[in-house]
Amino acid sequence: MSLETLLPFAVGGAILFSALGAVSLFSNARSSADDRLDRLRDPRRRGDKQEKSRGAGFRNAAQRAAPALSKALTPKTDAEVSALRLRLVNAGFHSPAAPQLYLALKSAVALGGLAAGFVYGTANYGMTLNTAFSAIIVGGLAFYLPEGVLYFIVKSRKEQIFLGLPDVLDLLVVCVEAGLGLDAGMRRVAQELEDTHEAVCEEINICNKQLNLGSPRRQVLHDLGVRTGVDDMRALAAVLIQADKFGSSIGEALRTQSDSMRIKRRQLAEERAQQTAVKLIFPLVLFIFPGIFAVLVGPAALMIIDGVLV
């Protein structure tokens, strides 16, 4: 057999062995003794005897690789760590390992961008300086890609909380005025509005869990305002803290805050409606006007051209 005939089989074998090596690297191959020891150390894992899925193997591999990948980007000061953790919490990532996983993902994406830029430059320019430039540019863009994604996630989540908060407060007012306490009302609201306002109800569920663990209500409400990153939620937390401190009516405070937030939401809708006319200019000029111009002026232009040529 010639070399040209053997080459596809050699490449296929190399890809197969590489895939098998990657699977064995990311697989969750552990002995039963190790599993029993882990369940004895951590009681929360005692119900996970049958968890042998491939997804669990990838998650465990990612957690093992995260410290090494995130080491170069780990913030040096506590203030930077707190700022990163706050951004991730605002995006809805409440896990203690979220900052480390985010930095590891950022490093992995940057390395992947460098490799992609190098491959693209090598294929188009060869081993020249342009290849290095392409690798640096693509790697830099890939490095800041997670930042942009996180920014849009935070912005979207804040908007969801802002738009859903008046409805949540209305139902909470009904629950409080019906005789329920604030804690019971929050649990009821989280159950009823879980499908329509998921982001707000998720934060309320976290508050309920903290209250069940015995955390002070003032601290829980303060953490709620900081964790969401929404100014209206901070204002609501401050109002509830003051009402709880001075013994005033919580229902009246909630009703006043709900009316204020509803007015603000209506003003935001009116502002966006006023911006519609300006935003329609660009699609009109770029896509609609050329078609209308061609339909209206086209026949006349053809007649003029025919008359000139004749």
Give domain status of residue 246, yes or no: yes
Give domain status of residue 38, yes or no: no
CA distance 310 to 306: 6
pTM: 0.67
Phi/psi at 51 (5° precision): -85, 90
Residue 172, pLDDT > 80, answer: yes
Give domain status of residue 33, yes or no: no
Q: CB under 8 Å to 137, separation ≥6 — which residues?
A: 117
Give domain status of residue 197, yes or no: yes
Give domain status of residue 173, yes or no: yes
Range of the domain at 190: 160-265
CA distance 244 to 182: 10
pLDDT, mean of residues 295-307: 82
Q: Dig out the tokens for 21 from the structure.
A: 């090596």
Residue 110: its pLDDT value, please?
83
Give domain status of residue 201, yes or no: yes
* Percent over 70 (pLDDT), the chain: 75
3-state SS class at 263: helix
Residue 30: its pLDDT value, please?
47
Structural contact between residues 240 and 182, judged by C-beta atoms closer than 8 angstroms:
yes
Q: CB under 8 Å to 141, separation ≥6 — which residues?
A: 113
Q: What is the pLDDT of residues 236-256, one digit of tens each?
A: 888 888 887 777 777 778 888
Give domain status of residue 240, yes or no: yes
Give domain status of residue 286, yes or no: no
- By the 10 Å C-beta count (0-12 exposed, 13-18 middle, 19+ buried), 185 is classed as buried
Give the total number of structural domains in the chain.
Answer: 1
